[in-house]
Amino acid sequence: MPDGQWYPPEWPERIRALAAGEFVPVVPKRAATVMLLRDAPDGPAVHMLRRRASMAFAGGAYAYPGGGVDARDSRPVRWAGPPVAEWARRLGTDEATAQSVVCAAVRETFEESGVLLAGLTADTVLGAVSGDEASEPGRGPGDDGGWEADRQALVDRELAFADFLDRRGLVLRSDLLGAWARWITPEFESRRYDTWFFVAALPEGQQTRNASTEADRTVWIRPADAAAGYDRGELLMMPPTISTLRDLVPYATAAKAVAAADGRDLAPVLATARWEDDTLVLSWPGHEEFTKRIPIAGGTR
C-alpha cells in the first residue's frame, strides 16, 4: 500500500526545466512551525492541522501551525529565555534572523492555533487567551477589542507582533521553545521555504482551536498514531512532517521531548533530484525512506 507522502505531479517537468537551465529557483522564504505537545495517559499528543484541499501548496496535507517570517518580526520585543545571540548560534543564523524566526514561531502559533507562548513576566505564562476581554492581561475596561481582535489583526498584518506584545505588556517566552529541525523546500518547487521546526508544551490553561483559514480540520494525535496513518496512506504529509513525527515517538512526556531539543542536529535538509536513464530519483539526504523513483518517458530529453 502506498504511504501518504505528498508529491506534486508537476515536479518532473520542473526538474527537467531546472536541469536545462530553463527554470530559475526562487529564493526560499524564512518560516517557522511549532509542534505543540500535551501529555495524555498514553503518552504525549501533538497538535496538527489539515490544510484545505484548495491550498496551492500541500493542499490536503497534515502539518503543524506555522508560516512565513514577517519583516517586522525582527523588531525588538521583551524577551525571556536564551539571549538572541545564543539563538543565533543554535539556529545557525545572524541575530536579526534568529529573533525574527523565533518571533514568527510564537506569532504563527497564536495566529493559527490560539496558543500564545508569552507571559506578563519572564517566569510566568499566560493562561487562557480567549474569553472576557475585560479580564485580559494588559487590557482595561475602556480598551477596544480582545484576544480575538488582536489575533485577527496579526493575521491581517494590521498589527506588528512587537506592538501586540508591547501594548499588552507581555514577555515572549523563547525558553518554552526547543529548536528541533530545519528543512528547505526543494529548488524545483515554485513556493519555497527555509523552515525551522520547534517543539513546545501546551501552556497550562490554554487550549488550541482551529483559528486558521488555511485548515479545515485540527486534531490532537499521538505521533505514533499519526505516523501509522501516514504509513497506511490515510494521512497525507510532506517529508519534514512525517520525519519530525517519527522523531517524537520515543518521548514519554512533552517535557522530555522539549528537553531533548538542545541535542538535535539543525543541519538543513534539502531534497535533490537526479536522472537514471528514464527514471527520476528524488531523495532527501539522510532520510532514505522518502526516496522516490519515478519512471518518466524521455528522461531529461
CATH number at residue 188: 3.90.79.10
* Assigned domain for 40 exists: yes
Q: What is the mean pLDDT of residues 208-226?
A: 86
| Confidence band, pLDDT 50/70/90 cuts, at residue 299 | low
Q: Bigger pLDDT: 12 or 118?
A: 118
| pLDDT in the model for residue 53 | 62
Q: Give me the number of domains the chain comprises.
A: 1
Share of the chain above pLDDT 70, in %: 88
Q: What is the mean pLDDT of residues 261-269?
A: 96
| Confidence band, pLDDT 50/70/90 cuts, at residue 3 | low
* Assigned domain for 72 exists: yes
* Assigned domain for 70 exists: yes
pLDDT exceeds 90 at position 92: yes
**Residue 253 CB-density burial (10 A; 0-12 exposed, 13-18 middle, 19+ buried):** middle
| Pick from 185, 177, 212, 166: nearest CA to 105 | 177
Provide the 10 A C-beta neighbour count for residue 41: 4
| pLDDT in the model for residue 207 | 92
Could you give the CA distance from residue 47 to residue 285 in angstroms, rounded to a whole number?
27
pTM as predicted: 0.89
Could you give the CA distance from residue 207 to residue 216 in angstroms, rounded to a whole number?
18
pLDDT exceeds 80 at position 7: no
* Assigned domain for 279 exists: no
| pLDDT in the model for residue 59 | 66
Q: What is the mean pLDDT of residues 207-236?
A: 88
Low-confidence winner among 2-16, 149-163, 171-185 (lowest mean pLDDT): 2-16
| Confidence band, pLDDT 50/70/90 cuts, at residue 292 | confident
Average pLDDT, rounded, for the chain:
88
| Confidence band, pLDDT 50/70/90 cuts, at residue 256 | very high
Share of the chain above pLDDT 90, in %: 64
Q: Bigger pLDDT: 8 or 248?
A: 248
* Assigned domain for 75 exists: yes
| Confidence band, pLDDT 50/70/90 cuts, at residue 145 | low
Domain holding 49, by residue range, is 11-264
Question: pLDDT for 94-141, tens place per residue?
Answer: 999 999 999 999 999 999 999 999 999 999 999 988 754 434 555 543
Q: CA-CA distances (angstroms) from residue 165 to 13, 123, 194, 250, 291? A: 45, 16, 25, 35, 43
pLDDT exceeds 50 at position 301: no
* Assigned domain for 285 exists: no
| pLDDT in the model for residue 1 | 41
Q: What is the mean pLDDT of residues 264-282?
A: 88
| pLDDT in the model for residue 295 | 81
Q: Bigger pLDDT: 282 or 85?
A: 85
* Assigned domain for 186 exists: yes
* Assigned domain for 256 exists: yes
| pLDDT in the model for residue 262 | 95
Question: pLDDT for 33-87, tens place per residue?
Answer: 999 999 998 999 999 999 766 555 666 889 999 999 999 999 999 999 999 999 9
- Pair 109, 36: CB distance under 8 Å: yes
Lay out the sheet containing 292-295: strands in order across: 272-276, 279-283, 292-295
Residue 173 is placed in which grid cell? 517566552
